[in-house]
Amino acid sequence: MLFNSAVYLFAFLPTALVVYFGLCRLRWISAAQGWLVLASLFFYSYWKLEYLPLLLGSLVVNFLVGQELARPRAARSDVPRQWLLGGAIVANLGLLGYYKYAHFLADNLNALTGAQLDWPQVALPLAISFFTFQQIAYLVDSYRGLTREYDFLRYALFITFFPQLIAGPIVHHHEMMPQFARRRNWVIHSGHVLTGLCIFAIGLFKKVVIADGFAPWADQGFDGSQALGFYEAWVTSLSYTFQLYFDFSGYCDMAMGAALLFNIRLPLNFRSPYQALDIQDFWRRWHITLGRFLRDYVYIPLGGNRGAAWHTGLNLFLTFVIGGLWHGASWMFVIWGALHGAALVLHRLWQATGLRLQRWLAWLLTFLFVNGAWVFFRAPSLDSAWRVLRGMADWRGALGPAAADLPTAAFAWGGWSVDLWLRWLPPALVAQLPQYAALAAAAFVLTRGHAGRLMDAPPRWHTTLACAVLLGVAFYATLASTSTVFLYFNF
């Protein structure tokens, strides 16, 4: 079920909220939590019912293994804990690999060896990457003695809680489980409702107005076959850069807002990432919970920064190659991850020199690198990526053709004002000016902070009014157009 669909906005979410707090008011806390689990399973299976048994089986098996790993020494079975943990991780990754990577591996083996492996294309179960990572983190923490004894109901609620089930944030057990047990969270808090609705409104507006507004420009450039001029290529790449940010941060804002209606605070996943001054700063701001997972469960187990400088660099590079592959079974994601891994290694070498760039130059270089790397992340093939990058690098095409060589329709947007623009700007740029104006407006919005600030301080009346306007516009956009799937549903 999509957060930006009418059935979610006007039926599912209000019903889940009313029934949950109604049961809590009667002091039927277990029933209320059970209701949330059932509602979350309905939310998950609304897309495709056949995915539900996989999620349920994963829940049961991982809960039992976690319980065994967390037992006191005297009560443990004879199976060595290292073997139990290793077997459980291999089983989780094996399941993920079967659905997400088996066909990719078969194709590459066929290409390398000339074999004729015919592996069927299996539909990717919704959210399998997210709930697999979340449960692996729980198992590792259980092995380390960092978890308590939780019953199955609360564990199921931790994994399936619908605001964060499909695309994160990737949460730890200690961030979620204690919140459901607090008595003060069993009653409606008007402040949480107001703040949650404001954050949800911002996220919905980001998705249905801004992200979906950029989507056609990005799709036209990446999915087409024609050569792209300088301005067309930059509009294509920047459109996807902003589409991806507003789509995923919009989802995360809606997840935070919906969770807060239930008095649950989800961790912040974005903190104005395009304001970063270096690539390390970018990853402290972008998809924060994924970066945290990769650090704690990939980078540190590989050795982190405990070895020689070359070994630390290798650990960084491998971590981000794995992070790229996590997004999907494609060499394009591997290239994207490798680019970021290499950039982080170079950043560490730069830091060791003690040199510093001016802030504006540091920001510009970081943003240009991130924008260029997103080309590989979005492009369906290497040829498509080079087509966009070639256009972006075609400085000679910046002036472009004369106005007389461009179709009249390209200037219809401005009416009489086009003549004024053509006096000062190249015709090819004037033809793309509406898109650039939208990109500039998006960049302005990006500098206005993030939802975490609303979480820290209740919204004032003017903020509430602004959010109400955003919510009204977003509702209208939702009802007036076909809802589109969030980009991270594909991962």
* Nearest one of 180, 187, 179 to 17, comparing CA atoms: 187
**C-alpha neighbours within 13 Å on the C-beta side of residue 440:** 6
Residues 6+ apart with CB under 8 A from 489: 126, 166, 167
User: Which two tokens mark 92?
Assistant: 């989780």
Active site residue 327: yes
Task: Look up tokens 């897309």; give the residue.
Answer: 47
Inter-residue contact 149 to 67 (CB < 8 Å): yes
User: Which two tokens mark 179?
Assistant: 């919140």
Inter-residue contact 258 to 193 (CB < 8 Å): no
Q: Which of 172, 287, 327, 450 is catalytic?
A: 327
First to last CA, the chain: 16
H/E segment holding residue 297: none
Residues 6+ apart with CB under 8 A from 117: 106, 109, 110
H helix intervals, 262-308: 279-285, 288-294, 300-302
User: Which two tokens mark 74?
Assistant: 């005297």
User: Which amino acid is present at 109?
Assistant: L
Would you tell me how many other CB atoms lie within 10 Å of the CB of residue 445? Answer: 16
Burial grade of 103 (CB within 10 A; 0-12, 13-18, 19 or more): middle
Measured between alpha carbons, how far is 26 from 62 in angstroms, rounded to an integer?
Answer: 32
Phi, psi for residue 308 in degrees, rounded to 5 = -70, 165
Q: Which residues are catalytic?
A: 327
